Amino acid sequence: MTGPAGTRVVLGVSGGIAAYKAAELLRRFTESGHDVTVVPTAAALEFVGAPTWAALSGKPVSTEVWTDVHEVPHVRIGQSADLVVVAPATADILAKAAHGLADDLLTNTLLTARCPVVFAPAMHTEMWEHAATQANVATLRSRGALVIEPAVGRLTGADSGKGRLPDPDEIYDFCVSVLAGSSASPDLTGRHVVVSAGGTREYLDPVRFLGNRSTGLQGYALATNAAARGAEVTLVSANVTLPDPAGVDMVRVGTTEELRAATLAASGDADVVVMAAAPADFRPAAYAPEKIRSTAAPPVVDLVRNPDIAAELGGRKRSGQVLVAFAAETAAEVDAVASGRDKLVRKRADLIVVNEVGADKAFGTERNAAVVLGADGSVTKLAEQAKEDLADEVLDLVSTLLR
């Protein structure tokens, strides 16, 4: 993913062991042409020294408000920024930001910034889950700050759990989405968005399955965009090999029934459910517990119909909840809009995204085009574009419905 080069980014680095990963994030920004000012805390310099930040950014580095006082850095840095991202953001920096403390250059910068502010927390699980930290995160989000959910994985020492800094590439993609304007106004703050992505597999035997060509790119773009708009995002991922998007809660599934169970469970308190996954419509009636031998006679495979997950979601949809379904069409003789309208009504969706799939179309490509049909009779044509941009336009329609 690329973003607008030449933008002024402030990279705040607070004092956690994950500070070394921020060097890679800085490299991504600078190599993409962004003008980056690194503002570390004094504790951060215990992990990664000032020469590293200066060399990678091409700018001198300071933690003090007293350096170059005539330039008023504690005010000017935040005032002139297009984006401020703090990675890693420790429990300490989250607390200071939530309470408006300003005892060093970074916290002063956070108080003066009038641009989007992104926090990428990294800390031990117990610290992240502590009521004080969660209250501080809620406060920051209520003010429009974008706090990425930490990843689950190996922490300091032998510990593992939620609290790991997301991959720098994923933080960078998140920030590019912000810089591109998708969350200049975080219109999904306080909302829970559930997105399904990928294609399900229905097994014939332990090694063979029926499936489809969906790679999950469009669903992942929707999840990333929703998170960048401030939403709490649950991504139900079916057989996708893409990196986990920063700031989302992952649920991994394989079969259509697993996708159904996970999506229904996650959607209970959701404000928005986006069914971007491609569930298999049919599954084998019988499963062979041992591999079917290649020397045996070719088996006759009887199929049974899988449940229609989107229709089930539509049938149990709460008042005010927005359901977005997807409809893939291939045959040229099929009236895609008429077919999509039929599915929209049958699934009781609020929006249905109708797109043509096939060789070099939609599945497995970086671009997509669609027609979005609304339950109110609206028809919105989305020209062929990057899937990230199409996701942005779809969520613009969702945001309008929520309002």
* Omega prior to 88 cis, within 30 of 0: yes
* 75 found inside a domain: yes
What tens digit of pLDDT does each residue of 274-283 get? Answer: 999 999 999 9
In a domain, residue 3? The reply is no
30 has a pLDDT exceeding 90: yes
- 148 and 227 in a common domain: no
Asked which of 118, 149, 179 is the last residue of a domain, the reply is 179
| Cβ 258 vs Cβ 237: under 8 Å | no
Task: Say which residues have a Cβ less than 8 Å from residue 290's Cβ, sequence separation at least 6.
Answer: 205, 206
Asked if pLDDT for residue 37 goes beyond 90, the answer is yes
Query: Domain of 339: which CATH number?
Result: 3.40.50.10300
**Between these two residues, 60 and 159, which has the higher pLDDT value?**
60
How many Å is the Cα radius of gyration of the chain? 23
Q: Please indicate, yes or no, whether residues 269 and 312 belong to a single structural domain of this protein.
A: yes
Computed over every residue of the chain, the mean pLDDT equals 90
Question: Are the CB atoms for 256 and 282 separated by under 8 Å?
Answer: no
Which domain does 80 fall in, by range? 8-179
- pLDDT band at residue 393 under the 50/70/90 scheme: very high
Regarding whether 255 and 154 lie in a shared domain, the answer is no
Query: pLDDT over 70 for what percent of the chain?
Result: 92
Q: What average pLDDT does the segment 46-55 reach?
A: 95
Bigger pLDDT: 330 or 256? 256
Q: What is the pTM of this model?
A: 0.81
- Main-chain phi, psi angles of 329, to 5 degrees: -125, 145
Do 34 and 123 lie in a common domain?
Answer: yes
128 — alpha (psi -120 to 50), left (phi > 0) or beta? alpha
Indicate whether 1 belongs to any domain.
Answer: no
Across 95-109, 174-188, 340-354, least confident range = 174-188
- Are residues 242 and 165 part of one domain? no
Q: 322: pLDDT confidence band, cut at 50, 70 and 90? A: very high
- Find the catalytic residue in 212, 225, 306, 368: 212
With cut-offs at 50, 70 and 90, classify the pLDDT of residue 63: low
Tell me, yes or no, whether 134 and 201 share the same domain. no
Say yes or no: 268 and 200 in one domain: yes
pLDDT confidence tier of residue 353, bands split at 50, 70 and 90: very high
> Does a structural domain hold residue 240?
yes
Q: How far, in Å, CA of 334 to CA of 219, rounded?
A: 25
Provide the domain count of the chain: 2
Kindly state the average pLDDT of the residues 231-235.
94
Q: What is the pLDDT of residue 332?
A: 57
Query: What CATH code is carried by the domain that includes residue 66?
Result: 3.40.50.1950
pLDDT of 74 strictly over 60: no
Residue 262 burial (CB count, 10 A): 20
Q: Are residues 216 and 70 in the same domain?
A: no
Q: Give a yes or no: residue 184 inside a domain.
A: no
Does one domain contain both 312 and 352?
A: yes
Angular region, 181: left φ>0, alpha ψ -120 to 50, beta rest:
left
162 and 200 together in one domain? no
Instruction: For residue 212, indicate whether it is catalytic.
Output: yes
Has residue 100 got a pLDDT over 80? Answer: yes
Pair 223, 248: CB distance under 8 Å = yes
pLDDT band at 184; cut points 50, 70, 90 = very low
Q: Are residues 304 and 332 in the same domain?
A: yes
* Three-class DSSP labels, 124-175: CHHHHHCHHHHHHHHHHHHCCCEECCCEEEECCCCCEEEEECCCHHHHHHHH
Of 128, 147, 179, the domain-final residue: 179
In this structure, the answer to whether residues 253 and 348 fall within a common structural domain is yes
Would you say residue 186 lies in a domain?
no
Residues 6+ apart with CB under 8 A from 127: 91, 133, 163
Examine residue 118 and state whether it is found in any structural domain, yes or no: yes
- Residue 124 within any structural domain of the chain: yes
Residues 18-41 as b/e (b if ≥16 CB within 10 A, e otherwise) read: bbebbbebbebbbebebbbbbbbb
- From 157, 179, 201, the end of a domain falls on 179
Q: What is the pLDDT of residue 364?
A: 67
